[in-house]
Amino acid sequence: MLKDTIDAAIKQAMLAKDKVRLTTLRSIKSQIMLAETAEGSHGAALTPEAELKLLNKAAKQRRDAAAIYKEQFRSELEENELAELAIIEEFLPAQLSDADLVERLVHIIQRVGAQGPSDLGKVMGVAARELSGQADGKRISDVINHLLNNTNL
């Protein structure tokens, strides 16, 4: 369970006096606890899928913030966001390489029977479910777009 793993990592960060790691892990734990106590959740533990979704959301927030800080030439804040992102990514499944992503998406396109760009939604729905946590949604969408616009499938 992610919450237990995060608790253990928080203890290690406290012993190591690693402030950035500690702050990041506490943030994740806070998000988990908020999700568990949200209205309609009845205090139940999060499913692995919900945990993955929560981590992906936290990672995306850090990526977006780092990009904004980079545009504003705020390198110290950008570095902090990237450091937090690296910590969050430790708890995410390994990301697919470009070659593996293309291979998996070609199989999905063939299985779904997609013929062209108009089938993007059909392919994206299946790909998002099957590749959840293994590749960023925008990355998946870009590759599908490229593959569907290529007539040599």
Domain range annotation of the chain:
2-89, 98-149
Which are the contacts of 14, defined by CB distance < 8 A and separation ≥ 6?
22
Q: What is the CATH number of domain 2-89?
A: 1.10.1510.10
* 152 pLDDT above the threshold of 60: no
- pLDDT tens-digit readout, 24-71: 999 999 999 999 888 777 777 888 888 988 998 999 899 999 999 999
- pLDDT score, position 151: 54
What global pTM score does this model have?
0.75
- pLDDT tens-digit readout, 77-104: 999 999 999 999 999 888 889 999 999 9
Give phi and psi for 95, each to the nearest 5: -80, 145
Q: Which residue has the higher pLDDT, 61 or 135?
A: 61
Fold of 98-149: Arc Repressor Mutant, subunit A (1.10.10)
> CB of 61 within 8 A of CB of 80?
no
